[in-house]
Structure 1
Amino acid sequence: MRNVELGKVGRKIRQLRKERGMNLQEVADKSDITAGLLSRIENFRTLPSLPVLHNISMALTVPLAELVDLVGSNGESNYILVRKGEGEKEERDDSKGLIYENILSTGLAETNLQVSIIYIPPHTYRKPLSNDSMELIHVVQGSIEYGLGDTLFNLYQGDTLFFDGSIPHSLNNTTDEQVVLFKGYLLRRK
C-alpha cells in the first residue's frame, strides 16, 4: 500500500472527529491512547496499529471499515483547502507554552508536508531538539534567537531560515512580545 493511500486514514479520522464536535483529547481518552498519538496519526506522522484503529472507530462510533474506505480509491481531489480558523491547535508536551496551529498536513508520496503557525510567548526558551525532517521557518511577527547546532541566529520579522531538522535546534524569545513563526516540515519517510 502506498504512503499516499495511508494518509487518507488520518484525514478521515480528523474529518469524523470534527463532524462530531470532538477535540483530540476526547477521542484519545475514549480510544485509550494519548492526544499526542492521535495528533500524529491525523497528521500522518505515524501509522496506527489495527487495535488502535479499532479503538478510534469505537470512540467515533463508526465501523472500522469507514476509517479505511478511501484507501485504494481514486476519489481524492488534487487539492487541500484549509479555511482560516480550521487549523487544529495543540500545545505539545515539550513546547514550553508554545501553541502550534497546524494549518496543513499531507501524506503524499515519500514525504509528508506539515505546515504550522507557532505562537511563542514572551521570555520562552525551548531546549534543542532534532527530528527527521527538513524545516523552514519564517518570522511573521517579532524577533527571536534561533539556535542551529553551534550557530545562533537573530531572526527578525520577514526573515526565513531553511535547515536540516536533524541538526539540534532551539528557540529563545527574549522579548516582552509574542513571536509568531510560520513553520513548514518536510518529513522524510523511512
Structure 2
Amino acid sequence: MSAADLTLDFSVVRDLRKREGMTLEEVSRKSGISIAGLSKLERNQNMIELDTLYRLARVFSLSATDLLNLAESCSARCKDAEVYQSGPFDFEKVSFKGIDCFHAKADKGDELSKPEAHGDEFEICWLLKGGIRITLPREVHTLAPGQALKFDAALAHSYEILEDSEMTIIHIEKTHRF
C-alpha cells in the first residue's frame, strides 16, 4: 500500500458543507471548531482529533465513523476483473471491501449445486439473459430476464440453468446492509 493510500482526505468536509448550503461560519458555530481550523481541515493542512471528528460529524448528521470512512475512501477505486471458471460457469469477478460482483455465463442444462464458499453475506442474482432456477431449502424461484432474487447466501442453494444465461451475482457482507 502506498503512502497515498493511507492518507485521509478531509476535503470531503467542504463537499458536505457545500452540499448542505452551509458557510464555514455556520459549521464553526454548530461544531465549536474555529473557522481557521475548519479551513485548514478542508485543505488537508492539519490532523483531526477524535473530539473534532465527532463534533464535525454531528453537524452533518453523520457518525464519526461515517465521516472517517468518507475521508478514507472519497476517491474512486478502479480494479480489473478476475476471470475464472467454477464448475460449468464462466465468471468475471471484481471485489471491493464488503462486496463481490460477478458477471456469470452458463449454458442450458448446467447446474451449480455448491456455489463458491460464502461467509455471512447476502446474495443477489440478477438475470440478464436466459432462464434460471434457484433452489433454497424451503423455496424455489424461477427467474426470467430482468428479474432478481436476494437471499441469505449462508443457506444451501443451487442454480439450474434452464436456457443459455447471463447474470450478475453480488455478494454483500451483512455488515454493509442497504
Query: Shorter-chain TM-score category?
Result: 0.5 to 0.7
Shift of 1:78: 2.7
Q: CA contact under 8 A between 2:88 and 2:111: conserved in structure 1?
A: no
2:157 counterpart of 1:169: yes
**Which one-letter code corresponds to 1:74 in the other structure?**
L
Distance (whole Å) between structure 2 residues aligned to residue 70 and residue 134 of structure 1: 32
Distance (whole Å) between structure 1 residues aligned to residue 75 and residue 106 of structure 2: 33
Identify the residue that residue 118 of structure 1 maps to in structure 2. 104
Distance (whole Å) between structure 2 residues aligned to residue 68 and residue 167 of structure 1: 39
**Which one-letter code corresponds to 1:98 in the other structure?**
F
Shift of 1:69: 4.6
**Which one-letter code corresponds to 2:77 in the other structure?**
I
Identify the residue that residue 8 of structure 2 maps to in structure 1. 74
Distance (whole Å) between structure 2 residues aligned to residue 153 and residue 168 of structure 1: 14
Q: CA contact under 8 A between 2:125 and 2:150: conserved in structure 1?
A: yes
Shift of 1:144: 0.6
Which aligned runs of 4 or more in structure 1 are off by greater than 6 angstroms?
none
**Which one-letter code corresponds to 1:156 in the other structure?**
A
- After superposition, what is the alpha-carbon deviation per residue over 1:118-160, rounded to whole angstroms, capped at 9, x for unaligned? 1112211111456221111110000011111231111111111
2:144 counterpart of 1:156: yes
Distance (whole Å) between structure 1 residues aligned to residue 144 and residue 160 of structure 2: 13
- Count matched residues: 110
2:173 counterpart of 1:187: yes
- After superposition, what is the alpha-carbon deviation per residue over 1:10-35, rounded to whole angstroms, capped at 9, x for unaligned? xxxxxxxxxxxxxxxxxxxxxxxxxx
Determine what percentage of the aligned residue pairs are the same residue: 15
Identify the residue that residue 95 of structure 2 maps to in structure 1. 105
**Which one-letter code corresponds to 1:122 in the other structure?**
K
Radius of gyration: which is bigger?
Answer: 2
Identify the residue that residue 87 of structure 1 maps to in structure 2. 81
**Which one-letter code corresponds to 1:163 in the other structure?**
F
